[in-house]
Chains A and B, each alone.
Chain A
């Protein structure tokens, strides 16, 4: 329902009133107790030693950024209005575009990854397969699918990750054919194969699929983050590639090394942009308990 309200607001409300409306919406989000508690618990791990009161205001900032991000996303869907962009790590981005093989683009629930995917699809002629976790609510899922249908870009395909092996073969084929596969690697959907890692000193389950895929297809993983800098202003940060190679007899050991590199990069980015990490559930079972 709130997505329909958002769409209505984007189409009808004066644009110069946007910050006021978003400030009110973020306030409304803060009233959502499970989400608020989830963010506050994550912040406790990201910023150890911080007080609950300070984290409460930080949580408002997370929701404020989330409200801006979904609004920018909706505005793009309805009127094709893109934000300003800044590229960081351009050398790695160029390296990715220059690849002859396929690649895996690993991202997180930060900033507007949908806008990032569309920008990405505009800068390359290569096909991008974007894998997303399905929404829990069927109506929300239907709305998301309809929205993606409206914003469909040339060369961009969005698949919803609904089962452990449902997409694996398709994705392997896509990568081997030279396409890019974009996956969010900071959260694991129930039923999806996972690997245990450490983030901010706490254990976290991350999807093992992207790493196994990179190993099987012998392609690199490029960590790529979309970070909101301000009103209608985003940064596309590309990090050095992660190579997942089979070097020992134990496949899991090789995967763990790559997961360790990814987790370190994720930790650095989240530490600098904690206000953009849209993880509304405790990321670790340790502090969830």
Chain B
């Protein structure tokens, strides 16, 4: 368990985010932040500690799925039906991910983090759906294109982070080393 003590601005450490784009944004925020010594603060260094990342994805992914489902079924069963269809689609995606992780385990491979494996599966399925809808004539093509653009930006951010990887390692050592 890695923690940073008494340094409030350490909440912007890139390693507290999971996706490259959020890591890069956190790094930029950390660079402009001033040193904030706050005795009694303990911050965990864990890739799932970024609340903004979690909330953005938690709204964006179900919303995208609801829109895809809605574009298909709304003309037939109305907006409320589309909402339920979206929720059902999300549950279906998570279910497919759970089946996939179970299947992987059955053939003898044990993913270290099941939630990570399942998250990857859900995002892959979502990316496939977004690619399909991005090429369609439906109104949701914009959502599909936005999602794919987000993936592209994440890829660019990953490259940038890879280029500054030594700086990131030094930065984290500095914070973990103490105030």
- The answer to whether A12 and B114 have CB atoms under 8 Å apart is yes
A34 within 8 A of B: no
- What are the residues of chain B within 8 A of A88 when measuring CB–CB? 40
- What are the residues of chain B within 8 A of A13 when measuring CB–CB? 94, 115, 118
- The answer to whether A20 and B44 have CB atoms under 8 Å apart is no
- The answer to whether B54 and A15 have CB atoms under 8 Å apart is yes
A interface bracket (residues with beta carbon within 8 Å of B): 20 to 34
Nearest opposing residue in chain B for A231, CB measure: B51
B46 within 8 A of A: yes
A193 within 8 A of B: no
A87 within 8 A of B: yes
With A82-B1, A84-B11, A230-B51 already in contact, the answer to whether A15 and B119 are too (CB < 8 A) is: yes
Q: Select the stretch in B57-65, B144-152, B163-171 that faces chain A.
A: B57-65
Q: Bits for B23-66, please: 1 = Cβ < 8 Å to A, else 0.
A: 00000000000000011111110101101011101110110000
- What are the residues of chain A within 8 A of B101 when measuring CB–CB? 12
A268 within 8 A of B: no
Q: How far is the CA of A84 from the CA of B122 in the complex (A)?
A: 28
- What are the residues of chain A within 8 A of B57 when measuring CB–CB? 16-17
- What are the residues of chain A within 8 A of B83 when measuring CB–CB? none
- What are the residues of chain B within 8 A of A80 when measuring CB–CB? 1
- The answer to whether A90 and B39 have CB atoms under 8 Å apart is yes
A238 to chain B, nearest CB (A): 10
With A84-B43, A86-B40 already in contact, the answer to whether A17 and B51 are too (CB < 8 A) is: no
Residues of B in contact (CB 8 Å), total 34
B18 within 8 A of A: yes
Q: How far is the CA of A16 from the CA of B61 in the complex (A)?
A: 10
A216 within 8 A of B: no
List residues of B (2-30) whose CB comes within 8 Å of A's CBs. Answer: 11, 18-19
With A85-B42, A90-B39, A90-B40 already in contact, the answer to whether A17 and B59 are too (CB < 8 A) is: no
Q: How far is the CA of A82 from the CA of B1 in the complex (A)?
A: 8
A14 within 8 A of B: yes
- What are the residues of chain A within 8 A of B11 when measuring CB–CB? 84
- The answer to whether A14 and B44 have CB atoms under 8 Å apart is no
- The answer to whether B42 and A12 have CB atoms under 8 Å apart is no
A245 within 8 A of B: no
Partner of B49, one of A14, A84, A86, A90: A84
With A82-B1, A84-B11, A90-B39 already in contact, the answer to whether A16 and B44 are too (CB < 8 A) is: no
B98 within 8 A of A: yes
For the complex with contacts A86-B38, A90-B40, 17 further pairs of A-B residues with Cβ separation under 8 Å are A12-B98, A12-B101, A12-B118, A13-B94, A13-B118, A14-B119, A14-B122, A15-B115, A16-B54, A19-B59, A20-B59, A81-B48, A82-B44, A85-B40, A86-B40, A87-B40, A230-B51
Residue with the greatest number of chain A CB neighbours at <10 A, chosen from B41, B46, B62, B115 = B115
- What are the residues of chain B within 8 A of A83 when measuring CB–CB? 44
Nearest opposing residue in chain A for B40, CB measure: A87
Q: How far is the CA of A99 from the CA of B58 in the complex (A)?
A: 46
B8 to chain A, nearest CB (A): 9
A264 within 8 A of B: no
- The answer to whether B40 and A19 have CB atoms under 8 Å apart is no
A11 within 8 A of B: yes
A18 within 8 A of B: yes
B79 to chain A, nearest CB (A): 19
- What are the residues of chain A within 8 A of B59 when measuring CB–CB? 19-20
- What are the residues of chain A within 8 A of B123 when measuring CB–CB? 14
A287 within 8 A of B: no
Q: How far is the CA of A211 from the CA of B43 in the complex (A)?
A: 35
Q: How far is the CA of A196 from the CA of B62 in the complex (A)?
A: 49
B98 to chain A, nearest CB (A): 6
Partner of A16, one of B1, B38, B48, B94: B48
- The answer to whether B49 and A16 have CB atoms under 8 Å apart is no
B31 to chain A, nearest CB (A): 21
6 contacts between A and B (CB under 8 A): A14-B97, A15-B18, A16-B57, A88-B40, A231-B51, A232-B49
With A20-B62, A87-B40 already in contact, the answer to whether A14 and B1 are too (CB < 8 A) is: no
Q: How far is the CA of A230 from the CA of B61 in the complex (A)?
A: 21
Nearest opposing residue in chain A for B4, CB measure: A84
Q: How far is the CA of A233 from the CA of B52 in the complex (A)?
A: 13
Q: How far is the CA of A19 from the CA of B39 in the complex (A)?
A: 29
Nearest opposing residue in chain B for A14, CB measure: B119
